[in-house]
């Protein structure tokens, strides 16, 4: 795999050519006062000046609602229709952040361990991620505190770093999928030579040590910190819905008369119904217990299994929270807690 150095004109041309070829491109677009991913349609302009999209790109591989199968009742008999996995189209995620690309690996881990989820696998195999390094960040960003970097390559097929001196972009071609795309759209591009990538990246401050947080969490189950931090939590689940790593889901029935569909939908451990038994018994009966689960799962349980936090520091949860719960502030407090 090689690194290329392209001009700003070549970068713009690359996207134009892919759009002209009719590729399905999922990219950030500024609309209605926010910047978010959407499938590019004619007239859409890819957003330039933003730090982070409102939602992550996760929904390309894990849509908010996925039909698992449908069925029809005929008297006492049931006819089930498996939607199969040949219905998906190739999709390019354009301008994902390195934190989102990195999160894809953890999402994939959940859906491929023990039991292979063929629907997820098919979606993922049709997805190519062209991530863009971050030249800027904001106060909510903390990728460097959880082992990431504004120029991290993990999970991307291609990583583009736009050079802040206006001198074009560095293109790191990282996987065979990325090679395929580069061969088609960047043939003839110059080899990168002597570019100091680091100089063009955002300066994301390290706010806490994920290892220290993990060590503190080992004895923190009964700490008063959960109650203190979650006192104002509304249990709205916004943090989970914008998270690029969260994968918890519900399975729901959408039935009308003799026809129905079984659907996988996003869910959140922050919802009171998440663990509630039919009897009314709830193993996590308070918002404090649910907040604790969110933090323990991401910063203690997942690290034990995968060796890294279940969080890539994208900061979306802090930006989306309607009551300003700032996750890095809370993690700093846990790391410093006696």
- In the complex, the residues that contact other proteins under the rule CB under 8 A are 68-69, 71, 73, 76-78, 80, 82, 85, 110-111, 113-119, 121, 221, 247-253, 255, 260, 262, 264, 267, 269, 274-279, 281, 283-284, 289, 293, 296-297, 301, 304-305
End-to-end CA distance of the chain: 48
* Residue number with CB closer to other proteins (95 or 294): 294
Tokens of 301: 């349980």
User: 203 or 304: whose CB is closer to other proteins?
Assistant: 304
Smallest CA-to-CA distance from 1 within 180, 126, 148 is with 180
Shortest CB 219 distance to other proteins, Å = 12
Which residues on neighbouring strands pair with residue 94, listed in sequence order?
130
DSSP state of 58: G
Residue 28 CA to residue 52 CA, distance in Å, equals 9
Instruction: Render 161-229 in DSSP notation, one character per residue.
Output: EE-TTSS-EEEEE-SHHHHHHHHHHSTTPEEP-S--GGGGS------S-HHHHHHHHTT-TT-THHHHH
Long-range CB pairs of 253-257, under 8 A, 24+ apart, other chains included: none
Q: Are 137 and 51 spatial neighbours (Cβ–Cβ below 8 Å)? A: yes
Q: Are 195 and 205 in contact (CB under 8 A)?
A: no
Q: Which is nearer to other proteins, 268 or 312 (CB)?
A: 268
Q: Whole-number minimum distance, CB 19 to other proteins, in Å? A: 31
Q: At its nearest, how many Å lie between other proteins and the CB of residue 49?
A: 36
DSSP collapsed to 3 states, 286-333: CHHHHHHHHHHHHHHHHHHHHCCCCCCCCCHHHHHCCCCCCHHHHHHH
- The residue (of 22 and 280) whose beta carbon lies closer to other proteins is 280
Q: Which residue, 89 or 279, has its beta carbon nearer to other proteins?
A: 279
Nearer to other proteins, 200 or 264 (CB): 264
| Shortest Cβ 235–other proteins spacing (Å) | 16
CB of residue 246 to other proteins, shortest distance in Å: 8
Q: How far is the CB of 255 from other proteins (least distance, A)?
A: 4
Q: How far is the CB of 310 from other proteins (least distance, A)?
A: 11
**CB of 190 or CB of 251, closer to other proteins:** 251
Backbone angles phi, psi at 302, to 5 degrees: -65, -45
């Amino acid at each position: 795999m090689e690194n290329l150095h392209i001009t700003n004109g070549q970068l713009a041309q690359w996207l134009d050519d892919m759009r002209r070829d009719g590729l399905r491109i999922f990219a950030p677009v500024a609309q209605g006062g926010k910047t978010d991913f959407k499938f590019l349609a004619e007239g859409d302009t890819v957003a330039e000046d933003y730090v982070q999209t409102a939602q992550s790109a996760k929904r390309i591989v894990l849509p908010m609602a996925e039909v698992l199968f449908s069925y029809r009742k005929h008297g006492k008999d049931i006819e089930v229709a498996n939607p199969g996995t040949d219905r998906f189209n190739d999709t390019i995620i354009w301008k994902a952040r390195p934190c989102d690309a990195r999160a894809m690996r953890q999402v994939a881990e959940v859906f491929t361990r023990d039991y292979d989820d063929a629907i997820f696998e098919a979606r993922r195999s049709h997805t190519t991620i062209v991530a863009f390094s971050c030249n800027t960040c904001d106060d909510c960003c903390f990728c460097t505190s959880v082992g990431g970097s504004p120029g991290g390559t993990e999970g991307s097929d291609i990583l583009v770093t736009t050079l802040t001196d206006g001198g074009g972009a560095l293109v790191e071609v990282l996987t065979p999928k990325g090679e395929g795309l580069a061969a088609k759209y960047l043939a003839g591009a110059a080899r990168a030579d002597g570019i100091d990538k680091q100089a063009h990246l955002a300066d994301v401050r390290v706010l806490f040590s994920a290892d220290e947080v993990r060590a503190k969490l080992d004895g923190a189950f009964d700490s008063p910190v959960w109650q203190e931090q979650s006192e104002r939590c509304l249990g709205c689940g916004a943090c989970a819905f914008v998270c690029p790593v969260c994968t918890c889901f519900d399975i729901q029935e959408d039935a009308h008369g003799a026809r129905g569909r079984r659907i996988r939908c996003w869910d959140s451990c922050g919802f009171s119904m998440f663990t509630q038994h039919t009897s009314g018994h709830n193993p996590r009966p308070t918002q404090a217990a649910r907040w604790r689960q969110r933090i323990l799962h991401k910063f203690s349980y997942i690290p034990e299994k995968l060796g890294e936090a279940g969080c890539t520091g994208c900061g979306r949860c802090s930006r989306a929270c309607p009551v300003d719960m700032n996750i890095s502030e809370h993690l700093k407090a846990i790391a410093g807690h006696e």
